[in-house]
Structure 1
Amino acid sequence: MLDGILWVCKNILLAFYNFGFALSHPGLWLDWSDKKAIMRVVYYGGSVEFFFVVFTAFLVLTAVGIWRRQVMWGTVRLLEGLANGIGRAVAWFGLLMVLQQIMIVFLQRIFRVSEIGVGPFGYTFTKDLSWWSEELKLYNAAIVALCATYTFVQSGHVRVDLVYSAVGFRAKRAIDMAGSLLFMMPVAVLVWMYSWFFMWRHLITPKPSASDTIERLLMKARAVRWNVETIGFSPNGFNGYFLFKVLLVAFTGLVFLQAIAFFYRSFLEFVEGEESAGKYLDRDSLGAGEEAYEGTH
C-alpha cells in the first residue's frame, strides 16, 4: 500500500516537473516544423505524466469546489455549456447529410452526373459522386462522436435500471457519483490511451507505439514525416478516414469532461438536496405540450 502511494506521489512530481519544463520552453513542443516537437506532443498526449497532471488538477478543482460551491457550479455550467454548444452545432450535420444525399440521388439518377465540384473563394474542389456518397459516413460519425455528451446532458440516452428508480433522491445522486468515478472516467482514460496513439499511427511515420518512451520517440524523430492516411474503400471513394480517428479522440475527451461535470452536479445535488435538482440545467424544449407527449413514451 505504501509503495503504491509513493509511486503515485513520485509520478505526480515527475509529471509537474516535465510539464513545467515543457511550458517554460514552448519552442520544444509548439514548433510543428521541428520533428522532435511532434514526437513530444505524441508522447505527452498519452503519457503517465499527462494523466497525473489531469488527475491532480481534478483533485485541486474538487477541493476548491467543496470549499466554494459556486466554483463547482461554475465548472458544471461551463462543461455542460460546452457539450450543449458543440452538440447543437454538430446536430445540423444531420440536415446537411439529408440534403447531400438528395443531391447525389438527383444528380446521379436523373442528370447522370459523375462528379461534383465545389468552388468557394475561387478554389474548385471536385470529387467523384462515390466520394461524396461515402463522405456521408463522416457526418454520421461526427454526430455520434460530438453529440454524445450533448445527448447525455439532455437525458436523451436510454437508461436501463433495476434499482435506480426505486431509491431516494440522495441515493440516486450517490449512484451517479459512483458511476462517474468508477465507470465514465476510467473508460474514458482507457479509450483515450488507445485512441490517441491509434490516431497518430495514421498521421505520421514511423508509427509510434504506446509503449515507446520519450527517448525512443525522440530517436524516431530523425525519420519522422507526415503520412496522413488517404486510403479509401474504392478507387474514387472517400479518402479522409483519418478524420474518424480524430473524432474518436475528441469523443473521448468530451466524455471525460462530461464525467467531471456529472460528478460535480451529482455531488452538489446530493449536498444541497432536492431543491437543487436540475439547477442551471440547460435543456432543449420542443415547446408547450412536450411534457405530456414525453409522458406517453
Structure 2
Amino acid sequence: MDLVDGTDTVDAAEGVDPGNGFLRCFGRQMKLLREAAGLTQAELGARVGYGEAQIASVEQGRRIPKPELVDAVDRVVGGGGVLAAMKGEVEKARYPGFFRQYASLEAQATKLNAYSSHVVKGLLQTEEYARAVFEMWRPILDPETVEQRLAARLDRQKLFTKRPTPLMSFVIEEVVLRRPLGGRAVMQGQLEQLLLYGHERNVEIQVMPTRCDEHAGMAGPFTLLQIGERRRMAYMEVQGESALRSDPKKVGVLESTYGTLRAQALTPRASLAFIEQLLGEQ
C-alpha cells in the first residue's frame, strides 16, 4: 500500500465504517448535555424545531444531524461550543467510509482530472441524476441514507466556486451520456448541466467516442488530484472499495494515461457540440 500523510491508503468496504462510531459518540455527548440541562428529548426537539423521534435518532447515532441542528442544540443545552466544534466531523460522516478521506482531499484540490466510464462524475451530477444513481445502488440504500448522500454529493460542488478557482478536466465515455439513468427528462437535465460546466473557463469536458479504436482507459475510471503546487494523488473506486495513492511513480503512470485519454477523446469544443447534438435527440 502507498502512504497518504503517513497512513495507509484507504481500502475499506462500506460495512466497516468508522463514521458510525463517531456518530454514536456525538449522540452520547449530546444526550449528556441535554440531561444536564434538565430537558427531555421532546422538550429539546420543541425548542430547536425538530421532532422527538429525530432527536432520539441523533442521540442513538442513527441519524446525521444538519449543521443548523448542531448549532441550535449546542445553544439550547448550553454546550459552550462543544457540539458545534464537532460539526466538521459530523459532516464527514455523511459520506460512506471508503470515500471519506478522498472527499476531504478533493475539497482542497487546486487541480482535478477525472476519467468516467460508468456514470457522470459526482461533481458534475444534477440533483435528479445523483438521486437516480443512489436509488439504483445495491444493496438498496434506505431513504434517509439516500438523502444524506445526496446532500453530501451536492455540497461537494462548492469546489466550482472555490477561490482561487481550481482547474478541472473530465473525460467521459460516450455511452455514459447515452445511458438515460433516471429517465429521459433526468438525462436531459444532466446534459444541460454538462454544457453549463463545460463553458466555464476553469473546466474542460471531453467525450470519448465509442467508435474510437484506440483507448488508454481499459483499466477503469480514476481521478487525479493536485493540492497546492506539488502534492499529487490518484483515487480509484470500485464496488464500495477505494484506493488513494500518493506514490509519485504510480501517480505518474496514471497522469500519463490521462494525457493519452485526452489526446484520444474529442476536443473540448467538439465535445460540447456533441453534447448539444445529444440534447437534440432527447
Fold shared by both chains (TM-score > 0.5): no
Q: Which has the larger radius of gyration?
A: 1
State the TM-score, normalizing by the size of structure 1.
0.24
**Structure in which a larger fraction of residues adopt strand:** 2
**Structure in which a larger fraction of residues adopt helix:** 1
